[in-house]
A = this chain, B = another copy of it.
Amino acid sequence: MVLQTETEQKIIVSAEKLFYQKGKAGTSMQDIADDAGINRTLLNYYFRSKDKLFEAVFRKAMGRFVPNLAAMLHSDISFEEYIPALVETVIDTMIENPQIPIFVLQELSSNRERMPQIIKEMGIDPVIALKKMEEAGVSKVTGGMDPRQVILNLLSLCIFPFAAKPVVLNILYSGDNEAYIEAMKERKKIIPQLMKQLMSQNRSR
């Protein structure tokens, strides 16, 4: 999987683009071949089947998501310190691949049997992760709020604006993509600030 011919890359690029946009069932092998400017036979030559090709695309997409999530859940560093860098990384990733959140979430939601397997592959043990969170000070810091709610808030603030890009872009930013991107960059500062406020606010009560 490390070495890729030029053609293989062209295929992946086109497959990503189309699968992200139209989904697996909504994209034909011919569509992908056309977009890549090559012959349909080559798709089977390199990836054997549509399923396998889709799988490659899906795993690559997950690969951009999971490390961040896993790192957060398993990190020993204090949650508070961890946030700014995490937010920065996540948002930068999303700015370049705004379609990934929906793509991944849609696939996970329509194909639920994937989740257990993915959890394993991620090397996440939910129970341990939760314990670590509590012990490592998340619940102290948040003054009693369920640490899962804290994580949920953080992820929501980071990811949703990208999952909902078409709506946000058109309604809130009148279709001005640059303004939208600028706003997303701004959130790299806003979100850690918010999280900090929330935590200290809660603690001081």
Contact = CB atoms under 8 A, between A and B. Distances in A.
A116 interface: yes
- Contact residues of A: prevailing secondary structure: helix
B190 A201 contact: no
Interface residues of A, number: 56
Contacts of A145: 190
A99 B106 CA distance: 9
Given A149-B183, A157-B153, A170-B119, A23 B26 contact: yes
A112 B166 CA distance: 7
Interface string A7-28: 0000000000000011111100
Contact of A105 (B69, B124, B164, B194): B164
A127 B176 CA distance: 13
Query: Ordered nearest first, which 5 A-B pairs have the shortest CB separation?
Result: A156-B160, A25-B26, A25-B25, A160-B160, A156-B156
23 contacts: A21-B110, A22-B25, A23-B26, A73-B171, A102-B106, A105-B163, A108-B166, A115-B170, A124-B171, A126-B174, A129-B171, A148-B172, A149-B187, A149-B190, A152-B160, A152-B183, A155-B160, A156-B157, A156-B160, A156-B161, A159-B160, A194-B198, A201-B201
